[in-house]
Structure 1
Amino acid sequence: MSETNEQSSKPLSSAQGTTTRRDFLQASLAIAGTAAVSTVAPALAGAQTKSKRPNLVFFLGEGQRADALSIAGNPILKTPNHDRIGHEGVRFTNAFCTNALCAPARATALTGLYSRSTGALDNTKGNIPLAADIPLFTEILQKEGYEVAIVGKIHTRNGVEERNWDYYFGHNNPSNDYENPIFKEGRKGKVGPSKQYKAVYPDDLSTDRAISWINEDRGDKPFCILIWFVAPHEPFFRPRRLADLYNGTPIAKPVSFDDDLKGYPGKPKSFVDAENKLGTTSSHVACGSLEGVAKDYYAGLVAVDENIGRVIGALEKKNILDDTAILQTSDHGFFLGEWRLFDKRLMHEPSIRVPFQVRYPKRIPAGTVREEMVLDTDIAPTLLDLAGVPAPANLQGKSILPLAKDTDPEFRKEWYYEYYEWPNPEKVAPHRGIRTEQYKLIQYVLDPSEGELYDLRTDPNEQNNLYGKPQYASLQAHLSDRLSVLRAEIPERKEAS
């Protein structure tokens, strides 16, 4: 492959217990940021000089399920470079997003705030920037002497191109053109016009730019780079080198794949009427079959894994790998045939579960695995904590770094979820919910009589809906009350219009 007027891509060759006020404070939003971060990060900042602060690399996947890693036991997908981050750092087996949709999830990753507080509720209004009074964690790092860059799929309000990036190479599209992608490039807060690159896979090109920027001479200044991949977003195109990957590989059906043939037992009408179902909609021709989607999805993640390996290799070559903290997660999960669904949006486990791994040997013991519930609101405070930079008190998550040294059963007992976009291409109804360590309650906004309630310990596949059953009335009422309390504690910012 070649590209117009640019260097060629060089891809890798190869509880239900009684919920206490303390529990709520730990899970609630503004208070959580204050309690968990402000008491830790300032001391670290005072103990570390700026020259000793680690570089930061933040890999954000696109729709990568928590089980879409070989380290997580996936029987098909091989992801050795993702796995290395987990093997040599800490990996969380219960990590979640708080709004399973690209643009709002990416705003949360940048700000440490729920969608309700950023005002970026959905994928609409893409050209309207985030409110100027909401700082990105990268801007906080800049003030502490970091150089900051973002490359790849931005896909949040205005691509955050109006913010002061030392280097920017991104696009604000959901998927871009996989064969002839379009990017904007800029430096020192000035971003240029869109430019199309010919015959190059977008993530390969983004990785080229990321490595080039990492290799620039910046003296003793630390850097933070966000490398955000577009694959495997629909239409799931593959790089040519992986065109025949998984030929002949069988794809197993999820246990709930045929629930539609049974009338979706126990599911409310709002769930049944959603159109994000494989082989049913002409607006998603790439989602015609389970086998096709799954294999293309996995092949896209192999390409991502190769590019993660290229970045790690560049850090090793520069002899700064162990001086660099690496965080890898995803904006949301993805349905691969559960209830015959594709896409995300719904508050069911395949959609909201994501990988979450951090490698930094100076503070994180290798091979650490934790079961505490961590959220996308924790990304910003964690990266600030890694840098030894105090986090603003209003951040709504908390650093996960204390969990790298020891378990904490009280870290987070419950958390709030809300999906807003309506109407939307898949006719997924707006809903909100609460998830505890054992239970999940989902309430549909357009018809308050509809809901879903699951005991995730006995029913991890969410097939036995307990909502409305008399014997669970007390549990349902308790969770509904907790949901209302959590929601009320999140400061609301009206969406920009």
Structure 2
Amino acid sequence: MKEPCMPNRREFVQGGLATAASMLAPIGAKAADAAAPAKKPNLVFFLGEGQRADALSIAGHPILKTPHHDRIGKEGVRFQNAFCTNALCAPARATALTGLYSRSTGALSNQHGDVPLPADVPLFTDLLREAGYEIAIVGKVHIRNGVEERNWDYYFGHNDPGNDYANPYFKEGRKGQVGPVQRFSNVYPDDLATDRALAWLDEDRGDKPFCLLVWFVAPHEPFFRPRRHLDLYNGIPIPKPATFDDDLKGYPGKPKSFGEGHNKIGTTNSHVACGSLEGMTKDYYAGLVAVDENIGRIFNYLEKKKILDDTAIVHSSDHGYFLGEWRLFDKRLMHEPSIRVPLQIRYPKRIPAGTLRDEMVLDLDLAPTFLDLAGVTPPANLQGKSLLPLAKQADPHFRDEWLYEYFEFPNPENVAVHRGIRTKRHKLIHYYKDQPEAFELYDLEKDPGETQNLYGRAEHAGIQQELINRLSALQKRIPVREGVLQG
């Protein structure tokens, strides 16, 4: 049976695209205030690059110190079970901007980078601009041609996965017109992007609220450090993950294609920065320290201008990253280090400080959350939902299950395509193009390290079949853009 296709632009509009008339009074506002709604909050969106959920000192990291990241969670809400739905740069970033699964936008992978997102799929920033916001994006964009054709008030971005850390290049533009590539000498790319973000923030926009996206390139491979951190972590030991030597045992319980991936530390010609666990890990951490410093610069500006508490600050990452688990680097796979991401929001007018939540939340939820913060009615077809209600009250039934899909093959790491379902307790991974088809099944409550593959064991046949059925049902419920998936 053919799966449903994405609605066209007209259907988007009929489904409730935002206009000036669609703006809502803030949650909790009294009816008497409707005639004179409160000023809309400014919005800042920090998006990390491959930042693991545990790569924060607020999350208990024993080595990495991230005080400015931590401030967002300490003074707002932090979600301890946040995930991406396709652990790869371009598709994850597209999902963050659209609130839609990869299969619904067509942004399946990093391939075909010169093809833009479909014009009939609005970004949440498009809707904010229609609602009176000025919008800007700086840093690593990397979404199917960088969404350069959208009408950004300010654009300072690049589409390369890692850029050139020593002499980076960017495109710059205003009011929807983006200029040619420019090279910049002897400047760290995230420092430069933050410089431009601060300059844009300082422009006079009257009473208009702003939405600023600051998307970092560090710590993407090759993990180059800024000069100020070249000696950071010297002499600090890096512990070896418990599964680092599983390759020497033949990867027990893992499918054949898992072992055939090229994403292994120390044995890849195309990823020389991943030559050793210690070197890669320390460089990764140092990049995040630089990111933390730049987040602090934005905080300092907002405080200086006395608009910090009028600004909602959201921090997350496009995907996680393997740091030696099963001797892996990179992401792509549906295992926890790859799919778990940080997610935290600071906005004291609607979010109590120090809030911690355990619900499963997704990158799909970012777009509707930004629209909710701005009081803009989301399109009816968004596949995520606002996280703001969780800031006030826990909801054990917020999300019981979700779909993961990875599509890019062949690719530099030779990681097989797969899909899967994750519930609060279990995970089923299906390598559907392997010959023969292969599966992994884990009880995450008993085995959070995903070391005991339960698939095919008679005592787990019931939950195995239940998850297979639920995975199939999930796929059928999520619309596929026409012509996107072949087979």
Q: Percent identity?
A: 72
1:437 maps onto 2:424 in alignment: yes
Matches within 5 A, 1:158-307: 158-307=145-294
Aligned partners of 1:41, 1:486: CA distance in 2, in Å?
Answer: 32
Per-residue deviation, 1:317: 0.7
User: Which residue of the partner structure matches residue 449 of structure 2?
Assistant: 461
The partner residue of 1:414 within 383, 401, 405 is 401
1:450 maps onto 2:438 in alignment: yes
The answer on whether the counterparts of 1:215 and 1:318 sit within 8 Å (CA) in structure 2 is no
TM-score normalised over the length of structure 1: 0.91
**What SS does the corresponding residue of 2:239 show, helix, strand or coil?**
coil
Per-residue deviation, 1:443: 0.1
**What SS does the corresponding residue of 1:283 show, helix, strand or coil?**
coil
User: Which residue of the partner structure matches residue 348 of structure 2?
Assistant: 361
The answer on whether the counterparts of 2:190 and 2:218 sit within 8 Å (CA) in structure 1 is yes
Using a 3 Å threshold, how does the CA distance of structure 1 residues 41 and 92 change in structure 2: closer, same or farther?
Answer: farther
Aligned partners of 1:52, 1:160: CA distance in 2, in Å?
Answer: 29
Per-residue deviation, 1:50: 6.7
Aligned partners of 1:351, 1:496: CA distance in 2, in Å?
Answer: 23
User: Which residue of the partner structure matches residue 116 of structure 2?
Assistant: 129
Aligned partners of 1:51, 1:204: CA distance in 2, in Å?
Answer: 34
Q: Partner letter of residue 413 of structure 1?
A: D
User: Which residue of the partner structure matches residue 111 of structure 1?
Assistant: 98
Residues 33-75 of structure 1: CA deviation (Å, up to 9, x unaligned): x9xx9xx984648967676000000000000000000000000
Per-residue deviation, 1:495: 3.6
Aligned partners of 2:280, 2:447: CA distance in 1, in Å?
Answer: 26
Q: Partner letter of residue 478 of structure 1?
A: E
User: Which residue of the partner structure matches residue 478 of structure 2?
Assistant: 490
Aligned partners of 1:44, 1:393: CA distance in 2, in Å?
Answer: 19
The partner residue of 1:391 within 366, 375, 378 is 378
Q: Partner letter of residue 82 of structure 1?
A: H
**What SS does the corresponding residue of 2:292 show, helix, strand or coil?**
helix
User: Which residue of the partner structure matches residue 10 of structure 1?
Assistant: none
Per-residue deviation, 1:460: 0.2
The answer on whether the counterparts of 1:50 and 1:144 sit within 8 Å (CA) in structure 2 is no
The partner residue of 2:130 within 143, 146, 149 is 143
Aligned partners of 1:227, 1:315: CA distance in 2, in Å?
Answer: 14
The answer on whether the counterparts of 2:25 and 2:38 sit within 8 Å (CA) in structure 1 is no
Per-residue deviation, 1:496: 10
Per-residue deviation, 1:262: 1.1
Aligned partners of 2:216, 2:300: CA distance in 1, in Å?
Answer: 18
Per-residue deviation, 1:111: 0.3
The answer on whether the counterparts of 2:23 and 2:376 sit within 8 Å (CA) in structure 1 is yes
Mind listing any 5+ residue stretches in structure 1 that lack a counterpart?
1-29
**What SS does the corresponding residue of 1:230 show, helix, strand or coil?**
coil
Q: Partner letter of residue 454 of structure 2?
A: L
**What SS does the corresponding residue of 1:193 show, helix, strand or coil?**
strand
Aligned partners of 2:485, 2:462: CA distance in 1, in Å?
Answer: 39
Mind listing any 5+ residue stretches in structure 2 that lack a counterpart?
1-10
Per-residue deviation, 1:449: 2.7
Per-residue deviation, 1:470: 1.4
Aligned partners of 1:51, 1:270: CA distance in 2, in Å?
Answer: 55
1:84 maps onto 2:71 in alignment: yes
Per-residue deviation, 1:192: 0.4
Aligned partners of 1:114, 1:41: CA distance in 2, in Å?
Answer: 25
Q: Partner letter of residue 460 of structure 2?
A: Y
The answer on whether the counterparts of 2:103 and 2:485 sit within 8 Å (CA) in structure 1 is no
Per-residue deviation, 1:272: 1.2
Per-residue deviation, 1:222: 0.2
User: Which residue of the partner structure matches residue 5 of structure 1?
Assistant: none
The partner residue of 1:479 within 467, 473, 480 is 467
The partner residue of 1:309 within 288, 296, 303 is 296
Aligned partners of 1:312, 1:485: CA distance in 2, in Å?
Answer: 44
Q: Partner letter of residue 335 of structure 2?
A: H
C-alpha RMSD of matched pairs (Å): 1.8
Aligned partners of 1:252, 1:171: CA distance in 2, in Å?
Answer: 34
Aligned partners of 1:41, 1:365: CA distance in 2, in Å?
Answer: 24
Q: Partner letter of residue 58 of structure 2?
A: I
Aligned residues: 461
**What SS does the corresponding residue of 2:359 show, helix, strand or coil?**
coil
TM-score normalised over the length of structure 2: 0.92
Aligned partners of 2:232, 2:25: CA distance in 1, in Å?
Answer: 49
Residues 93-134 of structure 1: CA deviation (Å, up to 9, x unaligned): 000000000000000011000001010000011111110000
Per-residue deviation, 1:474: 1.3
